[in-house]
Copies of this chain bind each other. A is one copy, B any other.
């Protein structure tokens, strides 16, 4: 190993670790569309060789989070407004399926888990913006996981990350307040409410999230890859 650090953290899987790190960095807005992701810098950050970093970039490209062009440095993808529209439409469709599976099926324990996440969202209200976004996303993914359908979970997860990237690319920072009350209402309606109403509510919620965010507004951020990624390694 070239890095001096003993990175032998008994790696369950080094590659998915680096993928997950970059995914989170993107979701939380630490990595910004257009940011460069050179293979060896990545490898160094995560204590692996370029081979692994390269492989990870391939996966992320397949998920649409990274732009990969031959002989060029990988970059964080920059979704166009059309892409964002597309992504949110698909997301609505997928998450409505989640709702459909879940209506009237939530156990007390599950409701508690969901409300826990919303509580965390509430607590993180004034913290760093990234945490809010991550928790909001976590809520939706948790919901998907409760269907017990692994393939649906995979697609919802992926589209959530893409949606997050679209927002950080095209949108304003984040408005978490509304999302929180909407999430609570959503839990209730999925638990009791009629299926139609729950599905519609999910659609409205997602549309609202998309709409709330589409008003430009740039933020300056650290632009140094290694310090950006440090918290995610």
Interface positions of A (Cβ within 8 A of B): 13, 51, 54-55, 58-59, 62-64, 70, 82-83, 86-87, 89-90, 93-94, 96-97, 149-152, 154-155, 162
Contacts and interface: CB of A to CB of B under 8 A. Distances in A.
A153 B135 CA distance: 29
Question: Which interface residue of A62, A83, A94 has the most chain B CB atoms within 10 A?
Answer: A62
A151 B64 contact: yes
Contacts of A97: 89-90, 93
A55 B62 CA distance: 12
Contacts of A51: 51
Contact of A90 (B59, B64, B152): B152
A226 to B, nearest CB: 25
Q: Which of A51, A63, A70, A90 is most buried by chain B, counting CB atoms within 10 A of its CB? A: A90
